[in-house]
Amino acid sequence: MKIGRFGKTDDDLRFQEVVEGNAYQLADKTLEILDKKFLVSPITYQGLQRVENWEYPYEAIREVILNAIVHRDYIGAPIQISVYDDKLMVWNEGSLPDDLTFEDLKKKHSSRPHNPVLAGTFFKGGLIEAWGRGTIKIINECKKAGLPEPIIESASGGISITIQKSITDKNKHIEKNLNHRQNRAIEYLDENNTITNKIYQELCEVSKATATRDLSELVEKYQLLERIGDVGAGTTYKLIGS
């Protein structure tokens, strides 16, 4: 299996990795290498607890990789995973059965893997269901994460599935020159409804004066937050439009 990290286009290959091993090892190693080397782990907060998340929904990526392994034509080219700034694409050599369309993949369909023995082993090991629901699971996991529906199509003698990022209003702060404390506060507000000056102080380990200045900039300069309540100890802040 080959993994490549690109910029926004195929011309911008930044680094790559070849993953080798048996079928079980391929699945585990690929997920581990993607997590540690190729994907960013966005940080959110549950209360004051730091939580590292996958850049794309883990269950969707896992299902795509397992699906590629059991449907791979092992005589042809290796499975290729291309990671871009705004999407992740998995390509596998081969084609759909003649009586199966890409639209059929969006609903329950017959399970006909290219490698039935390997698929049976994965099924007995609890890795796959073997009910023709893999693509449905991928689509549903992306929808749950607020991402667009994955694109499944023919490409270069094979089949590719592309998972795209979703650019939401809440993430537009990345384009602004926020300091690391302000970015942390925005990430906190992605998971919590409001923030106070006191929580900001504890979250960012800063003085009240620094917290006040940072929060004022988020309200007045960057127009990302709005104040709720009178100025003072009872003031809370929330994302505009949330």
172-196 pLDDT, tens digit per residue, is: 555 467 888 998 898 888 788 899 9
Does the pLDDT value for residue 132 go beyond 70?
A: no
Does the pLDDT value for residue 44 go beyond 70?
A: no
Window from 17-31, 60-74, 175-189 with minimum mean pLDDT: 175-189
- pLDDT for position 167: 47
* Helix ranges (DSSP H) in 3-160: 23-33, 58-70, 116-124, 134-144
Once rounded to an integer, what is the mean pLDDT over residues 91-102? 85
Separation CA 207–CA 9 (nearest Å): 44
Closest CA to 157 of 224, 219, 229, 96: 96
- pLDDT for position 169: 44
- pLDDT for position 34: 93
Once rounded to an integer, what is the mean pLDDT over residues 40-44? 68
Side-chain half-sphere exposure of 242, counting CA atoms within 13 A: 21
Highest mean pLDDT (candidates 53-62, 191-200, 230-239): 191-200
Closest CA to 82 of 191, 18, 148, 6: 6
- pLDDT for position 74: 73
* % of the chain at pLDDT higher than 70: 89
pLDDT, tens digit (0-9, with 9 covering 90-100), for 218-238:
999 888 899 998 777 789 999
Closest CA to 133 of 59, 50, 212: 59
Burial 10-38 (b: 16+ CB within 10 A, else e): eeeeeeebebeeebeebbeebbebbeeeb
Question: What's the pLDDT band for 147 if we cut at 50, 70, 90?
Answer: confident
DSSP, res 147? P
Instruction: Please name each of the domains of the chain with its CATH number.
Output: 2-164 (3.30.565.60), 169-239 (1.10.10.10)
Separation CA 109–CA 134 (nearest Å): 10
- 92-100 CB contacts, 8 Å cutoff, 24+ apart: 92/68, 92/158, 92/159, 92/160, 93/157, 93/158, 94/158, 94/159, 95/154, 95/158, 95/159, 96/159
- pLDDT for position 229: 83
pLDDT, tens digit (0-9, with 9 covering 90-100), for 101-116:
888 888 877 777 777 7
134 phi/psi in degrees, rounded to 5: -60, -45
